A and B are shown apart, each in its own frame.
Chain A
Amino acid sequence: MMNRTNDEHLDAYLTGDVSLEDLPEALQAEERLLFGAMAMLREDVRAPASLKGAVMAEIARRPRSRWRAMVDWLVRPRTVRLSPAMGLGFAVAAVAVLALLPDGRLIPGSGDPAAAVSEAAPVLTRFVFVAPEASQVTLTGDWVSWDTEGIRLTQLRGSDVWTVDVPVPPGVHEYSFIVDGSEWRPDPLAGEPVDDGFGRANSVLMVAASEA
C-alpha cells in the first residue's frame, strides 16, 4: 500500500478513485461529521409552537414609554360607542367652529386664489394734498382702520403742497385727509368722491398688486 498524505487521500476520494471506507479512520470520521452538518442544514427548521407566546409575553412584560402608549392608543382600531345625543353635540360643535371662522373658510387667508389680492405685498403710494393755511394734514383710510392719528403728510418747503408716500395693501380703499385735526376732506386729485353714508365724502383708491 502506498504511503499517502491526507491531502493525497482526499484528492483521491474527491475524484472518486477511492471510496469513503478506503480513507484512513481519522479522515472517515471527519467526513461523516461534515455529512451530518450538511444534513442538518438541509432540514426544514420550524420554531416550536410555544415560541410565539413566549415572545409576546416577554414584550408585554417590558414597560412601555408614555409616548409609545399614546401612539399605540391613537393607531389601534377600536369600536367607539357614541350615543345619538353625543354625536349631535359633536356635529353642533363642528358647525359652530365653521361659523366662527372668518368668511366661512376653513383656514383664514387660504384656499381661494381670489383672495390673493389682499395677501399681496403693499404698494408704495404717493398722496398729494394742497392745503393753503393748514398747519397739519394727516391721511387716514380703511387700510389703517380709520385711525384718527392718521399718517402725517410733509409740507414741501415754501409751498402749500403736502405729500407722503405710504405702503397700501392691494385692493379698493376709501380714504380722507384730515386738516388741522378736525376737518375731513376728500382728495381733490382722486376724482369724484363717494358718499360715506354719514353725510361726508371719501375718495376711492384702487391699488393693484405689484406685477413682476
Chain B
Amino acid sequence: MMRRGILWLAVLFLVGTFPAAGQDTDLESRLPPEVLSAVQPILDAARRDSLPLAPLESKILEGVAKGVPAQRIVPVTQRLADELRTTRELLREALPSAALAGGEVSGAALAMRQGVPPGQLARLWENRPAHSLEIPLAVVGELARRGIPAEEAVEVMRHALQTGASMSAAAQLPSRMDLSMTGAPAPQAALLEALRTLGIPIPPHAGGGRPGSPPGRPPGVGGGLPGG
C-alpha cells in the first residue's frame, strides 16, 4: 500500500513537470528543423544557467523572419547568450544580494554594450522602485549611445527614480533628446532640454540644469510613442 502510494506521488510529480518541459513548443513549430537543431544546444545551455530565454528565442525568430540562414543565426544567438551571461555575472558581483529579473539583465546588457560599467549601473538599485529596472537601465544605455557620459546618464536616471519621476516620460527621453539635438549641438544640452520638456527632475550638477524641476506627463507625438 505504502509503496504504491509513493509510486503514485512520483507519477503526479512527473506529470506536473510536463508543461515546463514543453515550453519550446511554439519555437519548435515556427523554426525550420535545421535552425532548431543548430540553436538547441545554445538554448539548452541558457536554460541550464537560468538565463533569460525570451531575448534568445526572439533573436532566433527574428533571424528566421528575415530569411537569415541557420549558420548565421547560430553565432549571433551564441554571442547574445554570452553577453547575457557576462552581464548577469558582473551585476551579481556588483549586487550580490539583488534578485535580477530577465528584463533587467537584458536592459543592463544594452547599457553595457554602450560602455556603461556595471558598477555604475548598480547605483540604480539604490532607488529600486516596485517595478522592474529594465526601462531605466535601457534609458541609460540609450543616453550613452547618444554621447552622454555613463556617469551622467546613470545620475539622471538615479535622480529620476529617487524623485519618483514618470517612467513613461523617462522612456521617451532618448527620442526627445534626438528631437532636441537637431537644434542643439551638444548632447548634454539636448539632454537638459529633453528633461525639461518631459518634466523629469534634473539632478544637481547636471550640465547647468536646475535641480528639482517638477515631474509631469509628457506630450505624446511621433513614431512609436506610447499613448497614441
Contact = CB atoms under 8 A, between A and B. Distances in A.
Decide whether A and B assemble into one complex. yes
B117 interface: no
Main secondary structure of the interface of A (DSSP, over half): mixed
Contact of A205 (B66, B104, B167, B224): B224
A120 B171 CA distance: 16
Interface string A100-137: 11111000100011111110100111111100000000
A20 B23 CA distance: 95
B101 A123 contact: no
B158 to A, nearest CB: 17
Q: What 5 A-B pairs are tightest by C-beta distance, nearest first?
A: A126-B228, A189-B223, A104-B50, A114-B101, A208-B167
A175 B228 contact: no
B101 A198 contact: no
Interface of B: 1-2, 5-6, 10, 13-14, 16-17, 20-21, 23, 26, 30, 47-48, 50, 52-53, 55, 57-59, 61-66, 68, 72-73, 76, 79-80, 99-104, 106-107, 110, 128, 130-135, 138-139, 142, 145-146, 166-168, 170-172, 174-175, 178, 220, 222-228
Interface stretch (A6-14, A26-34, A46-54, A139-147): A139-147
Given A142-B62, A197-B80, A168 B226 contact: yes
A206 interface: yes
Contact of A146 (B14, B58, B79, B175): B58
A145 to B, nearest CB: 5
A119 B125 CA distance: 20
Nearest to A129: B223
Given A102-B23, A197-B79, A172 B110 contact: yes
A209 B68 contact: no
Contacts of A117: 101, 103, 131-132, 134-135
Interface of A: 73, 78, 80, 90, 93, 96-97, 99-104, 108, 112-118, 120, 123-129, 140, 142, 145-148, 165, 168, 170-172, 174-175, 184, 187-192, 196-198, 200, 202-211
A90 B9 CA distance: 11
Contacts of A125: 224-228
B168 A93 contact: no
A168 to B, nearest CB: 7
Nearest to B173: A206
B20 A145 contact: no
B101 A115 contact: yes
Nearest to A202: B62
Contacts of B223: 126-129, 187-190, 203
A206 B111 CA distance: 13
A103 B146 contact: no
A146 B145 contact: no
Nearest to B133: A114
